[in-house]
Amino acid sequence: MKCVVADSGPLIALALLDSLHLPKVLWGQLLAPATVLEECTALRGITGVRLIELAVADGLIDEASDTVLENDIATLGLDLGESQALGLARRIQAGLLVDERRGRRAARVCF
Nearest C-alpha neighbor of 27 from the set 109, 96, 104 = 96
State pTM to two decimals.
0.87
| Residues whose CB is less than 8 angstroms from the CB of residue 107 and which lie 6 or more positions away in sequence, other chains included | 86, 89, 96, 98
Q: Domain ranges in the chain?
A: 4-110
Is CATH 3.40.30.10 the right assignment for the domain spanning 4-110?
no
Q: What is the residue-level pLDDT of the chain in tens, covering all 111 positions?
A: 589 999 999 999 999 999 999 999 999 999 999 999 999 988 877 888 899 999 999 999 999 999 888 877 766 778 889 989 999 999 999 999 998 777 667 666 666
